Chains A and B, each alone.
Chain A
Amino acid sequence: MESVVVGGVEFAIDRRGSGSPVLYLHGDNGLRNAGLLDRLAEHHEIVAPVHPGFPGSPVSLLVDTVADIAFVYAELVEQLGEPLTLVGASFGGWIAAQLAVTHPAMFAAVVLVSPLGIKTRDRETRDFVDVYLTPHAERPSLFYGDDAIAATVTAVSDEDFLHDVICEDAIARYCWKPYMYDPKLLARLRRIAAPTLVINGAADRFPLDPSYYATFAAAIGDNAHRVTLEGGHRLDETSPSDVAATIEQHLASALGLATTRKGV
């Protein structure tokens, strides 16, 4: 991993692979089980920044919201040159959506895997399971769909435990209040212009609204379609091959068909 400074913000970047370029934005669990990143690197040149505050990237005084992270990454993408494919998972899907909303012309294709970031229900109805109110023993199945799958990716070494705790701190920094969403994002998703794929897991229990991902995709518009795969919230960790294959199908059509793009 290399360390870069963009717009006064220092962060680590994992670069690997060759092929058409992909900006990969990791999820709430950082890059510890980066199976999807490995699969995508088989066919693409990957640029995967570690978000400020996640393991490997220091906390920055210039970054304390998802919009702040997206602001920094827009400058990173400008330095890389266009066009890029944008892929984000979970928390990274929220950052990706924010980036694609504010810079609609910047990306050739967008992929949002289990994206967080919107609220679909009323003020007295929670949109995501409150992880802080969930006993520790129940958290793995919440994120991975079931305990057996969770057991294959949960922390083992001291480094793993520290990694996961730093990820939790980072998520709390950005998502404590409002909890896991930006109240303005839903109304702005229509600004995403590139062909967009939303992938979610059939057993994802983290969003409480059964229509959450359908609402997310519909709010983007006709340039978005949605695919549901087997698995829980962290598909990027537990079903990397299925997710990667679905992404490749999307890119085959999206990168070949510029006419699917909304005018921007």
Chain B
Amino acid sequence: MFRTWIFSEFGYPFHPPAHLVMENRVNLPSKYFDPDAGYELYNKVFDLYRAADELGMDVMVNEHHSTSTCLNTCTPLTLSVLARETKQARMLCLGNPMAHRPDPVRVAEEMAMVDVISGGRLDLGMIRGVPQEHFATNASGIDMKERLWEAIDLMIKTLTTHDGPFSWEGEHFHYREVNIWPRSYQQPHPPLWMSTLSAESAADLCDRDFTIATLGNGWAGCAAIFEAYRKRAAELGRPAPPAEKFAYSPLMYVGDSWEDAKAGIKKVLVWAHEQLRSPSHFNDIPGYMPAQQRAMLAKVRASGGTATLPSLIRMTEAPLEELIAGGEVMAGTPDMVFEQLRDFHDKVGGFGNLLPLVHFSTMNLDLVVRSMERFATDVLPRFREEVYGPTVRGDREMLVGA
């Protein structure tokens, strides 16, 4: 089944203006956080997620640290609230920053507990984390990939071992007796996901049979990543991966009219502007990316250029119509968003999970709920019936082959 996982970053609505405090990651003093505003934000977002559940959709959470752009600092905490706030929705954690968490066994415990509380509604995602997180956790960027995979291997073994303790004496993690209670509700473990922005990583995710998610990089970037995953599956002699293995996160607003949608999506796009308030040296962590790539960025900086992600610059500067054409954004009337979703689906060779960022900053709850209602009522059923279902059954050709 095609799933829509409603997503909010818990963005704090009252960032100090840029002329007072430019930077909003790593070093933004928490004196700028108003506890009452925070109280309202948390409750608003939980209400938003409950509305998504009542509309028959699923929910997704992520986490960041030391930043006003995301007040969700601990996904197990928000998931445990959502386990009770929602009744039917599956809950996607995307995800656990495994190379930053010092204790992968604790992650397995948290995820198993949330899965049990929710009666088996957890989808368990893992992420590498953005470079700025290295300041919050003091985890080194060196050997990060090796640490990430050792942490994931250990977490999965922790979730799937039920015959008593095992020991783990690895390169990065050491345990005497691993033996968690509770075990997860879903067996052998909740569905596993991982996000990536690079086609190079897609093969690793395919090897593990994870669901692969990519965020905000448009249909071209997304298609390259999905294609790498499919190619790897073919190399391994596996059947073509089902559409449910692929996920994409755009910014989304569905309006009554094009004018209404433009006003709504402009508020969601504040997200991209806020991302750009992080100075480039907070993104430049040794080991985080290959030396060749960092050297190229160093050369760009030395010649006075900017080393910011081009995709973020584009999202703040390109006309809305271009962002819609590129697939970074889905916005418009229900008919327009249906067509955008259909075209995106076909251009990336099919996918089974939409993770729309529907809310940011000062957007009020009613505004977001109306957008979600239009999507749940006038886009999603039609998309399932006219596009996704027939395609998965083999009754429909995609408009543009992947």
| Majority-rule SS of A interface residues | helix
Chain A CB within 8 A of B30 CB: no
* Partner pick for A162 among B138, B279, B281, B292, CB 8 A cutoff: B292
Assembled-state Cα–Cα distance A161/B305 (Å) = 15
| CB-CB under 8 A for A161 and B142, given A134-B281, A171-B286, A172-B286 | no
Closest to B142 in A: A173
Asked if A165 contacts B287 (CB within 8 A), the reply is: no
| Interface of chain B residues 366 through 392 with chain A (CB within 8 A) | none
| CB-CB under 8 A for A177 and B142, given A161-B299, A166-B291 | no
Asked if A176 contacts B142 (CB within 8 A), the reply is: yes
Chain B residues closer than 8 Å to A168, beta-carbon distance: 286, 294
Asked if A136 contacts B280 (CB within 8 A), the reply is: yes
Assembled-state Cα–Cα distance A158/B295 (Å) = 8
Closest to A156 in B: B302
Assembled-state Cα–Cα distance A155/B300 (Å) = 12
Assembled-state Cα–Cα distance A165/B289 (Å) = 11
Chain B residues closer than 8 Å to A209, beta-carbon distance: none
Chain A residues closer than 8 Å to B140, beta-carbon distance: 172-173, 176-177
10 contacts between A and B (CB under 8 A): A133-B27, A135-B281, A136-B298, A158-B295, A161-B298, A164-B298, A165-B291, A169-B142, A173-B286, A176-B286
| Interface of chain B residues 293 through 344 with chain A (CB within 8 A) | 294-296, 298-299, 301-302
Assembled-state Cα–Cα distance A133/B298 (Å) = 16
Assembled-state Cα–Cα distance A206/B33 (Å) = 33
| CB-CB under 8 A for A136 and B142, given A161-B302, A162-B291, A165-B294 | no
Assembled-state Cα–Cα distance A165/B296 (Å) = 10
1/0 per residue, CB under 8 A from A, across B258-300: the answer is 0000000000000000000001110011110001101110110
Chain B residues closer than 8 Å to A161, beta-carbon distance: 295-296, 298-299, 302
Assembled-state Cα–Cα distance A136/B301 (Å) = 8
Assembled-state Cα–Cα distance A136/B143 (Å) = 23
| Interface of chain A residues 151 through 184 with chain B (CB within 8 A) | 154-155, 158, 161-162, 164-166, 168-169, 171-173, 176-177
* Partner pick for B284 among A136, A173, A177, CB 8 A cutoff: A136
Chain A CB within 8 A of B141 CB: yes
Cβ of B401 to closest chain A Cβ, rounded Å:
39
Binding site for B on A (CB under 8 A): 132-136, 154-155, 158, 161-162, 164-166, 168-169, 171-173, 176-177
A136-B281, A136-B284, A172-B287 known; 6 new pairs, CB 8 Å cut-off, are A132-B135, A133-B27, A133-B281, A161-B296, A162-B291, A169-B142
Assembled-state Cα–Cα distance A186/B160 (Å) = 47
Chain A residues closer than 8 Å to B291, beta-carbon distance: 162, 165-166, 169
Assembled-state Cα–Cα distance A245/B219 (Å) = 63
Cβ of B311 to closest chain A Cβ, rounded Å:
21
Closest to B293 in A: A165
* Partner pick for A132 among B142, B285, B301, CB 8 A cutoff: B285
Asked if B299 contacts A172 (CB within 8 A), the reply is: no
Cβ of A124 to closest chain B Cβ, rounded Å:
15
Cβ of B134 to closest chain A Cβ, rounded Å:
8
Binding site for A on B (CB under 8 A): 26-27, 134-135, 138, 140-143, 279-281, 284-287, 291-292, 294-296, 298-299, 301-302
Cβ of B361 to closest chain A Cβ, rounded Å:
27
Assembled-state Cα–Cα distance A164/B291 (Å) = 9
Chain A residues closer than 8 Å to B302, beta-carbon distance: 154-155, 161
Assembled-state Cα–Cα distance A168/B279 (Å) = 19
Cβ of A31 to closest chain B Cβ, rounded Å:
17
Assembled-state Cα–Cα distance A171/B388 (Å) = 51
Asked if B142 contacts A172 (CB within 8 A), the reply is: yes
Assembled-state Cα–Cα distance A133/B285 (Å) = 10
Assembled-state Cα–Cα distance A166/B281 (Å) = 16
Chain A residues closer than 8 Å to B296, beta-carbon distance: 161
Chain A residues closer than 8 Å to B301, beta-carbon distance: 136
Cβ of A158 to closest chain B Cβ, rounded Å:
7
Assembled-state Cα–Cα distance A134/B281 (Å) = 7
Chain B residues closer than 8 Å to A169, beta-carbon distance: 142, 286-287, 291
Assembled-state Cα–Cα distance A173/B138 (Å) = 13
Cβ of A164 to closest chain B Cβ, rounded Å:
7
Assembled-state Cα–Cα distance A176/B140 (Å) = 6
Closest to B304 in A: A137
Assembled-state Cα–Cα distance A171/B134 (Å) = 16
Assembled-state Cα–Cα distance A29/B392 (Å) = 56
Chain B residues closer than 8 Å to A135, beta-carbon distance: 279, 281
Most chain A C-beta atoms within 10 Å of own C-beta, residue among B135, B142, B143, B296:
B142
Closest to A138 in B: B281
Chain A residues closer than 8 Å to B141, beta-carbon distance: 172
Chain B residues closer than 8 Å to A172, beta-carbon distance: 140-142, 285-287
Assembled-state Cα–Cα distance A134/B292 (Å) = 22
Chain A residues closer than 8 Å to B135, beta-carbon distance: 132-133
Asked if B298 contacts A165 (CB within 8 A), the reply is: yes
Assembled-state Cα–Cα distance A162/B299 (Å) = 9
Cβ of A149 to closest chain B Cβ, rounded Å:
16
Chain A residues closer than 8 Å to B142, beta-carbon distance: 169, 172-173, 176
Assembled-state Cα–Cα distance A130/B134 (Å) = 13
Assembled-state Cα–Cα distance A176/B139 (Å) = 9
Chain B residues closer than 8 Å to A132, beta-carbon distance: 134-135, 281, 285-286
Asked if A155 contacts B298 (CB within 8 A), the reply is: yes
Assembled-state Cα–Cα distance A168/B285 (Å) = 9
Cβ of B170 to closest chain A Cβ, rounded Å:
13
Chain A residues closer than 8 Å to B295, beta-carbon distance: 158, 161-162, 164-165
Assembled-state Cα–Cα distance A134/B142 (Å) = 19
Chain A residues closer than 8 Å to B292, beta-carbon distance: 162
Asked if A158 contacts B286 (CB within 8 A), the reply is: no
